[in-house]
Amino acid sequence: MTGSDDNLWQGDVEKLKGLVSERALTGETMVLNMGPQHPSTHGVLRLLLELDGETVVTCVPDIGYLHTGIEKNMESKRYEQSIVMTDRMDYLSPMGNNLVYCLAMEKLIDLDVPPRAQVIRVLLSELTRINSHLVWLGTHALDIGAMSVFLYCFRERERLLDIFEMVSGQRMMSTYFRPGGVWRDVPAEFEPAVRDFINYFPPRVDDYEKLLTNNPLWLDRTQGIGFISADDAIRYGCSGPTLRGSGVNWDIRKALPYSGYENFDFDVPLGQHGDVYDRYLIRIEEMRQSLRIVEQALDKLPDGPVRSNNRKYVPPPRSELGQSMEAVIHHFKLWTEGFRPPVGEVYQRIESPRGELGCYLVSDGEPKPWRVHFRTPSFIHLSVLPLMSKDHLIADLVGIIGSVDIVLGDCDR
Amino acid sequence: MADVNPVESLRAAFSDAVQDVQEFRGEITFIIDRDHIVDVCRYCRDTKGLEYNFLSDVAGVDYFPQEPRFAVSYHLYSMIHNRALRLKVLLPGEEPEIPSVIGLFPSANWSEREIYDMFGITFTGHPDLRRLLMPEDWDGHPLRKDYPLGYETVQFSFNFDEVDKYKPYARE
């Protein structure tokens, strides 16, 4: 080490009191900074670790490095203008974010959604779930040391991104769902592309399982790691695969169905041990179940309009503008002033790939929302990390972070 | 016991704490007195037939310039009875303070820190009430309605020195 020792430590020991144990203040244990630019923290997450040898004594997550002020920004934009920002929160599940915001708006203004749009929404939400789980699987396996899985996962993901581009024009930030339906109908080549994917994908999932599920190295690194009991999972607000890994049967698609999920037949996989391995098994099975939903949705895709006809909230199609004065007025009103929902507040929750994604919308009757708040699964799950990682090795910490599947954009908003 | 009506049950148990009950789009909102929020949460969680065992979310709202200015909304959910409930506490604009529910629902930990950070509402009894998203030396609370979205103060001759102090260019 070069230079004067006086310059090495610039922090304040007083600030560490209460965060780390007394042993750290005497120098018996080591305080180590991990992140924010660390590849296996899945974004810009900083962890303050207190280590006894290689064992984690305390873990203090520090977030906010990806805070973009989306909630504040939305207050100054009209309802429909803000949909583009929801894509950018959880960038692995843009359609899920669109969906929760649109559902909240529709609940607030009591807007109908045509059956065809509902089924398209379910179909694309499930493809988004597969897309998100593929990125999770690839990066999670990469963290633990299985390099090849990452390449296979991203190969399959590419096909999904092509489908998203086909319907919305964008690979990731699709902004495809709008209040009252979807932006436009799916193109003719959509159905063959999804059929192709349905046939192509199941053998690929089997391949991932061949690489990992019975792999002794994978088992050693995941079984018994990051345990959380069912009671603790509920008390600490876990949801999605993290909650179901502990054996709690709660899936919002089943418990509080939205967008017509009650018409689809699918199973909710449950774990028993509440560890990293069970959460892995659940997500693998969820990909298969999502594909079942996609197949059913494609089979029963009804004909009809894809957006509501309520002209007070939904702009008229271009074709009407040349013939109807009424349509021109609505078009002008909606794109200059926006719509005015009734005064009130709603909370809408959906099952995002990571867990419960909630949108709390407060309206004061003006064209701009008074307050938008997103309850994001990554945010809550990250606050449970100290509990899950206690007394584990620092190498396992990386696996635990991967297993709760956090996205820092989703966490910081 | 399965179908205890939450409205009647809460009204009977906390006649002085429930200030109002609103229903909008099938969602029930209770306006609760600040000092009773922990008791009401405990009652909702532990009473047979209610059992709201899952706190989804805690969110702050700023109703500036109205008074009471702030609100804190608790979104409770019962996995056993598959029902949801919203508790809302109104707080004054001057030194807003509210008891923390972290002892009942540890999931409120970061949500309360976020509200403290964004609105400046103090949660008494929270063990680790620090800023969460903003840097620790940040001035102000961004989600308050009187906090500007952006913009820079224009520097004129009459306020040149005053604004110059805050200009972000490099100094010796």
Residue A121 pLDDT grade (very low, low, confident, very high; cuts 50, 70, 90): very high
State the pLDDT at residue A5: 52
Q: Is A110 on the interface with B (CB under 8 A)?
A: yes
State the pLDDT at residue A287: 92
Between A29-38, A380-389, B159-168, the lowest mean confidence (pLDDT) is in B159-168
**Residue A232 above 70 pLDDT?**
yes
State the pLDDT at residue A373: 93
Structure tokens at B55: 């706190």
- Report the percent of chain A where pLDDT is more than 90: 38
- Region B6-164: CATH code: 3.30.460.80
Residue B171 pLDDT grade (very low, low, confident, very high; cuts 50, 70, 90): low
Burial of A265 from C-beta contacts in 10 A (0-12 / 13-18 / 19+): exposed
State the pLDDT at residue A2: 44
Q: State whether B133 and A412 contact (CB < 8 Å).
A: yes
* Candidate from A67, A371, A383 with C-beta closest to B61: A371
Residue A35 pLDDT grade (very low, low, confident, very high; cuts 50, 70, 90): confident
Residue type at A50 in one-letter notation:
E
- Report the percent of chain A where pLDDT is more than 70: 96
> What integer is the mean pLDDT of A192-212?
91
Q: Is A231 on the interface with B (CB under 8 A)?
A: no
Q: Residue ranges of the domains in chain B? A: 6-164
Q: How far is A257 from chain B (nearest CA, A)?
A: 11
Establish how many alpha carbons lie within 13 A of residue A407's alpha carbon, considering only the half-sphere containing its beta carbon.
23
**Residue A43 above 50 pLDDT?**
yes
Domain A70-412, CATH homologous superfamily name and number: Cytochrome-c3 Hydrogenase, chain B (1.10.645.10)
Q: State whether B149 and A19 contact (CB < 8 Å).
A: no
Q: Is B103 on the interface with A (CB under 8 A)?
A: no
- Chain A contact set for B111 (CB, 8 A): 380
* Candidate from A72, A250, A371 with C-beta closest to B79: A250
ipTM of the complex: 0.85
More confident residue, A202 or B17: A202
Structure tokens at B40: 């009401």
CB distance A176 to A128 below 8 Å: no
Q: Residue ranges of the domains in chain A? A: 11-62, 70-412
State the pLDDT at residue A7: 52
> What integer is the mean pLDDT of A94-104?
92
Residue A19 pLDDT grade (very low, low, confident, very high; cuts 50, 70, 90): confident
> What integer is the mean pLDDT of A361-372?
91
pLDDT tens digits for range B93-144: 888 999 999 988 999 999 999 999 999 999 998 888 888 888 888 888 888 8
Burial of A309 from C-beta contacts in 10 A (0-12 / 13-18 / 19+): exposed
Residue B147 pLDDT grade (very low, low, confident, very high; cuts 50, 70, 90): confident
> What integer is the mean pLDDT of A88-107?
90
Q: Is B56 on the interface with A (CB under 8 A)?
A: yes
This prediction's pTM = 0.89
Residues 6+ positions from A316 with CB-CB distance below 8 Å: A324, A327, A330, A331
pLDDT tens digits for range A267-322: 999 988 888 999 999 999 999 999 999 999 999 999 989 988 888 899 898 888 88
CB distance A315 to A334 below 8 Å: yes
* Candidate from B75, B79, B133 with C-beta closest to A234: B79
Q: Is B75 on the interface with A (CB under 8 A)?
A: yes
**Residue A37 above 50 pLDDT?**
yes
- Report the percent of chain B where pLDDT is more than 70: 93
Calculate the average pLDDT of chain A. Answer: 88
Structure tokens at A230: 């069912």
**Residue A100 above 90 pLDDT?**
yes
Q: State whether A237 and B135 contact (CB < 8 Å).
A: no
The answer for A145, left when phi > 0, alpha when psi is -120 to 50, beta otherwise, is left
What gap in Å lies between CA A352 and CA B35, rounded to an integer? Answer: 35
Q: Is B129 on the interface with A (CB under 8 A)?
A: no
**Residue A10 above 70 pLDDT?**
no
- How do beta strands B27-32 and B83-91 pair? parallel
- Chain B contact set for A63 (CB, 8 A): 132-133
